[in-house]
Amino acid sequence: MTLMNNIQEWILLLLIFGVISAIGNWIGYGILPLAAVPGMIVLILVSLAGLILQKLLKVNIPSVAYVALIGIIISLPGFPGSETVVRWTTEVNLLALATPILAYAGIAIGRSWTDFKKLGWRSVVVAMLVMVGTFLGSALIAELVLRMQGII
């Protein structure tokens, strides 16, 4: 599949995703879809640029790294137009983007359910502790350092 085909498919899927989250953004967070459109378009363009960059530069870096970097750069204080970028994208709530992601994820993980059922209770206990351990471990160190620095 050529890059052009890829780009076309990405644009269509990002637009579908954008429309769905703009409606969620309205219902859940009271932001009118029209107000969210400019910000959503900015986010779609940033995503698209990151996805294309990842294909063009044949370095083994995940596309989200490019997406994050582009997003950070265009919103840095002093970058031309950054205030507009920030003002527009503020109208797109982060949680409104997360809801459709997890809706798609719920539908997708159904196929892992058979594997999941095979896990015994011991594995489930250990899995939960793995998550708690990672989460609490990081929080504890962050707390310590942030306090030492006087940030919190």
Least spacing, CB of residue 31 vs another protein, in Å: 11
Distance from C-alpha of 149 to C-alpha of 133, rounded to nearest angstrom: 24
Least spacing, CB of residue 99 vs another protein, in Å: 4
From the list 3, 28, 32, 81, which residue makes contact with another protein (rule: CB under 8 A)? 28
Distance from C-alpha of 146 to C-alpha of 144, rounded to nearest angstrom: 6
Distance from C-alpha of 18 to C-alpha of 97, rounded to nearest angstrom: 8
Q: Would you count residue 17 as binding another protein (CB under 8 A)?
A: yes
Using CB atoms within 10 Å of the CB of residue 62, give its burial: 0 to 12 exposed, 13 to 18 middle, 19+ buried: exposed
Q: Would you count residue 53 as binding another protein (CB under 8 A)?
A: no
Residues 56 to 95 in contact with another protein, rule: CB under 8 A:
62-65, 67-77, 79, 82, 85-86, 89, 92, 94-95
Least spacing, CB of residue 60 vs another protein, in Å: 11
From the list 10, 33, 37, 38, which residue makes contact with another protein (rule: CB under 8 A)? 10
From the list 34, 56, 57, 143, which residue makes contact with another protein (rule: CB under 8 A)? 143
Q: Would you count residue 116 as binding another protein (CB under 8 A)?
A: yes
Nearest to 92 by CA among 151, 14, 152, 2: 14
Q: How many residues bind another protein (CB under 8 A)?
A: 96
Q: Would you count residue 32 as binding another protein (CB under 8 A)?
A: no
Distance from C-alpha of 43 to C-alpha of 50, rounded to nearest angstrom: 11
Backbone CA torsion sign across 45, 46, 47, 51: positive
- How much is the CA Rg of the chain, to the nearest whole Å? 20
Least spacing, CB of residue 36 vs another protein, in Å: 11
